[in-house]
């Protein structure tokens, strides 16, 4: 395992079935990188989404905006118990109590509760007020606002970027040998890592506006999996004959 490709799901890996098949077919060849997924969906939802799309490849799944991590064993996604690594104690009830006093912030109704992710509907302005309220209450968290009105409250130091960095170290892959791919603001933490990254075509306006400030980032014209392949070719990982063993972005 010498390289790692990490792809967001909705609108990044998924969304163009023909391009998805071409990308997955490339993983049949030699020298393919380790394939992992990173999504805001909880693990059960991500697994269902991958199954519906017929994605049977992929070794790792980062779910819940970085709060969950799974390894594929056979047809099952098994949790990796050593993640998340919390910087300080997490008290979800304290967070809920603060946000209960904010009528402009509405809880999302999830099928299954998450141990380390609280999800709400909130405007960008409301999300800023949440940040201020939690700081006033001396509650240290990670806030991820995306898709215009979705707000996730996570333990401090936990997000997609932290999960990708930990996974790469866990499986012995240097960040220089990682490519991350995304299409929304909840991918920013992993696109900010010291590695190559791809912003696929059709990404949301907030991410496109911030893309010029991201390190080693390629903004693709093609959407979804076609955009991933466009970025991999730009970085020298992939060409028509297969995978390269070195990249050109450094």
In the numeric block, which tokens belong to residue 239?
């060409």
Q: What is the DSSP letter of 32?
A: P
* pLDDT at residue number 112: 84
CA gap 250, 232 in Å, rounded: 14
Q: What mean pLDDT comes out for the span 19-43?
A: 94
Structural domains of the chain ordered from first start: 4-84+158-243 (3.40.50.1000), 92-155 (3.90.1070.10)
| CA 124 to each of CA 95, 148, 206: distance values in angstroms, whole numbers, following the listed order | 18, 7, 11
Q: Is the dihedral of CA 46, 51, 55, 59 positive or negative?
A: positive
| CA 118 to each of CA 33, 91, 159, 192: distance values in angstroms, whole numbers, following the listed order | 33, 11, 13, 23
pLDDT tens-digit map of 218-228 = 999 999 999 99
pLDDT tens-digit map of 62-104 = 999 999 999 999 989 999 999 999 988 999 999 999 999 999 9
Give the pLDDT band (50/70/90) at residue 107: very high
In the numeric block, which tokens belong to residue 122?
């909130």
Model's pTM, two decimal places?
0.94
* pLDDT at residue number 247: 57
Give the pLDDT band (50/70/90) at residue 28: confident
Q: Is the pLDDT of residue 246 over 70?
A: no
* pLDDT at residue number 248: 52
In the numeric block, which tokens belong to residue 50?
């991958």
* pLDDT at residue number 42: 95
| CA 21 to each of CA 54, 58, 61, 121, 152: distance values in angstroms, whole numbers, following the listed order | 9, 13, 19, 34, 31
- The helix or strand, by DSSP H or E, that contains position 188, with its residue range, turns out to be helix 188-191
Give the residue carrying structure tokens 């190559």: 196
Any idea which of 59-63, 109-113, 165-169 has the lowest mean pLDDT? Answer: 109-113
pLDDT-above-90 percentage for the chain: 88
Give the pLDDT band (50/70/90) at residue 242: confident
Count CB-CB contacts under 10 A for residue 221: 10
SS3 213: helix
Mean pLDDT of the chain: 94
Q: What is the DSSP letter of 202?
A: T
Give the pLDDT band (50/70/90) at residue 249: very low
**Length reported for the chain:** 250
pLDDT-above-70 percentage for the chain: 97
- The helix or strand, by DSSP H or E, that contains position 118, with its residue range, turns out to be strand 118-121
Give the pLDDT band (50/70/90) at residue 240: confident
* pLDDT at residue number 175: 96
pLDDT tens-digit map of 180-197 = 999 999 999 999 999 999
């Amino acid at each position: 395992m010498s390289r790692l490709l990490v792809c967001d799901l909705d609108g990044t890996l998924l969304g163009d079935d023909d391009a998805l098949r071409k990308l997955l077919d490339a993983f049949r060849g030699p020298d393919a990188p380790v394939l992992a997924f990173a999504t805001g969906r909880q693990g059960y939802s991500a697994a269902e989404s991958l199954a519906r799309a017929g994605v049977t490849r992929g070794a790792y799944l980062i779910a819940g905006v970085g709060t969950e991590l799974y390894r594929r064993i056979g047809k099952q996604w098994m949790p990796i118990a050593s993640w998340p690594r919390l910087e300080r104690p997490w008290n979800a009830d304290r967070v809920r109590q603060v946000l209960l006093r904010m009528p402009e912030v509405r809880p999302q109704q999830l099928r299954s509760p998450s141990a380390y992710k609280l999800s709400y509907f909130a405007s960008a302005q409301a999300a800023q007020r949440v940040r201020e309220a939690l700081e006033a209450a001396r509650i240290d968290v990670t806030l991820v606002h995306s898709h215009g009105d979705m707000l996730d409250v996570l333990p401090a130091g936990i997000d997609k970027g932290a999960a990708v960095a930990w996974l790469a170290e866990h499986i012995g892959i240097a960040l220089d040998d990682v490519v991350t791919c995304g299409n929304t603001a909840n991918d920013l933490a992993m696109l900010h890592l010291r590695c190559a990254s791809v912003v696929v075509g059709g990404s949301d306006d907030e991410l496109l506006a911030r893309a010029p400030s991201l390190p080693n980032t390629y903004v693709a014209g093609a959407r979804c999996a076609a955009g991933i392949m466009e970025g991999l070719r730009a970085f020298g990982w992939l060409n028509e004959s297969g995978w390269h063993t070195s990249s050109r972005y450094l």
